[in-house]
A = this chain, B = another copy of it.
Amino acid sequence: MLKLNEVEIVTIGDELLLGQTVDTNAVTLARELGAIGVSVVRRATVGDVADDIAGAVREALARTGTVITTGGLGPTADDLTRPVLAELFGRTLVRDESVVAHLEALWASRLRGPLPSSNLQQALVPDGAEIVRNPEGTAPGLRLVDAEGRSVTMLPGVPRELRAMLRESLVPWFAARAGDRVLRTRAVRTTGIAESALAEKLGASKRVVAGLPLAYLPGIDGVDLRVTARDMSLDDATRALDDAERTIREAVGAYAYATDRTTMPQVVLELCQARGDTIAVAESCTGGLLGARLTEVPGSSRVVLGGTIAYHNDVKVRDLDVSPDDLATHGAVSEPVALQMARGARARTGATIGIGITGIAGPDGGSDDKPVGTVWIAVDVHGDARAHRAVYIGDRAEIRHRASQAALDHVRRRLIGHGA
């Protein structure tokens, strides 16, 4: 019997198996479907090989009965999804005029040219297939349903196209079948504290909070504490998740900075906007990463004035008024330099908050007293500047990201009154 709130995903493409591409579509599908109570119960990835595609989809249909495939819908010879699944469902490929019209319109408007004959391939669809409109691209989605109601929905591999089709067509289609039982998760995001220390605060052996299973998800931003409510009514799930979040937040206190997919830059920007604060950055080892993370948030221009990428020491001196003597005496990675960078960022821009970061991101440049990963972070809030030293583990990218995360967390703690 068909489980209407479960789905398997089969992602198709040599580039996925070869590791040329990170499979972000699987993440998008899982999140969007999970939010409407549809659980992705298994995922398979196969190459552009007819037997492997057919095998993976056949197994998934037998196991779960509802399958979504991504990729292999393009106009080229290695795009096998349409013919292979047509055969699996015993359908022939027929030319669909609505798809032809869509392709011609798209070429005329966006791509400003006549339709290449190769792309007419994409108008060949399995007989009786439901067309899933693709507002963003050329390859339409296709859905085949057999007599028992088992279905495979074929989506293109281009993330932007898949996201648009998910919103426009798939979420409504699945929501209509899934009924009123939902799967909901909530993550309390923490940073600056180790998984084991969190476990102590929550009760070392505790794997259940407010009756919901608790998972520790360590990541580059910190450790997310995620509880999951399965197969409940929306009201029950919401109530249980609210209880669990309250319990977790009481246990971890100010280490919790956000919920679910809210990011640290979003949190800091909201705090600043509510208080009328503005931010300027002075970045050495992060080289612009902190500014990039802040300005990635739409509307950040209301808070972020700008800043200085002070990679070379001359820039620290000229643009941020860092003392050459302190650079000579204490080195670029030092408390006085970090403090002067934060103050300089404020002074230059007139921002109410200045952030200075200077450190050793590696792989080279470390020493015994300043190993790779050593970072000084200073935060100047309305003229009160404080500095913090840390040594981060990981590679260059991880050290830089952790430094930017910690810098924003210091700002957050200062603004909510939990600053060191």
CA gap between A16 and B27 in the complex, in Å: 8
| Selected contact of A42 from candidates B44, B300, B310, CB within 8 Å | B44
CA–CA, A215 and B18, complex, Å? 12
Query: Is A111 in contact with B292, judged by CB distance below 8 angstroms?
Result: no
Docked complex: A277-325 residues within 8 A CB-CB of B: 281, 283, 285-292, 294-296, 298-301, 304-312, 314-315, 318-319
Given known contacts A226-B20, A307-B288, is B47 in contact with A41 (CB within 8 Å)?
A: yes
Instruction: Determine if B298 and A305 form an interchain contact, defined as CB atoms under 8 angstroms apart.
Output: no
Q: How far is the CB of A59 from chain B (nearest CB, A)?
A: 8
Asked if B296 and A400 sit within 8 Å, CB to CB, the answer is yes
Q: Is the pair B311, A288 in contact by a Cβ cutoff of 8 Å?
A: no
Q: In the assembled complex, which residues on chain B have CB atoms less than 8 Å from the CB atom of A14?
A: 215, 228
Q: Which of A209-234 contact B (CB under 8 A)?
A: 213, 215-219, 224, 226, 228
Query: Once the chains bind, are A292 and B298 in contact (CB under 8 Å)?
Result: no
Which of B44, B185, B283 has a CB less than 8 Å from the CB of A44? Answer: B44
CB < 8 Å neighbour of A290 from B288, B290, B393, B398: B288
Bound Cα distance A271, B62 (Å): 55
Contact A41 B34 (CB under 8 A): no
CB–CB A291/B296 < 8 A? no
Interface membership of A30, Cβ < 8 A: yes
Which bucket holds chain A's interface residue count? 35 or more
Answer whether residue A45 sits at the interface, using C-beta atoms and an 8 A cutoff.
yes
Q: What's the Cα separation between A279 and B324 when bound, in Å?
A: 22
Q: Would B307 and A309 count as touching, CB distance under 8 A? A: yes
Residues of B within 8 A of A338 (CB): none
- Contact A78 B21, beta carbon cutoff 8 Å: no
Instruction: Enumerate chain B residues within 8 angstroms of A318, measured Cβ to Cβ.
Output: 348
CB distance from A226 to the nearest CB of B (A): 6
Closest to A362 in B: B298
A204 touches B118 (CB 8 A): yes
Is A205 in contact with chain B by the CB < 8 A criterion? yes
Given A291-B309, A298-B396: A28 and B19 interface contact (C-beta under 8 Å)? yes
Chain B residue contacts of A312, Cβ below 8 A: 301, 304-306, 349
Does B310 lie within 8 Å of A287, measured CB to CB? no
Interface of A is mostly: mixed
In the bound complex, residues from chain B placing their C-beta under 8 Å from that of A41 are: 17, 47, 52
In the complex the two chains form, is A160's CB within 8 Å of B398's CB?
Answer: yes
Which of B78, B228, B291, B315 is in CB contact (< 8 Å) with A287? B291
Report the bound CA distance from A286 to B19 in whole Å: 28
Is the C-beta of A155 less than 8 angstroms from some C-beta in chain B? no
Contact with B along A250-279 (1 / 0, CB 8 A): 000000000000000000000000000000
A308: which of B46, B56, B306 is its contact (CB, 8 Å)?
Answer: B306
Inter-chain contact B298/A288, CB cutoff 8 Å: no
Question: Does the CB pair A31–B19 fall under 8 Å?
Answer: yes
* Residue A22 lies at the interface, judged by CB distance under 8 Å to chain B: yes
Q: Is A247 an interface residue (CB 8 A)?
A: no
Q: 12 A–B contact pairs at CB < 8 A?
A: A14-B215, A17-B40, A19-B31, A22-B27, A42-B52, A42-B56, A43-B45, A44-B44, A44-B45, A287-B292, A306-B315, A315-B349
Contacts from A to B (Cβ < 8 Å):
14-24, 26-31, 34, 39-47, 52, 56, 59, 76-78, 111, 116, 118, 158, 160, 185, 187, 194, 196, 199, 204-205, 207, 213, 215-219, 224, 226, 228, 281, 283, 285-292, 294-296, 298-301, 304-312, 314-315, 318-319, 348-350, 362-364, 393-398, 400
New contact pairs (5) apart from A19-B30, A291-B311, A304-B309, CB-CB < 8 Å: A18-B34, A19-B27, A111-B196, A288-B307, A289-B295
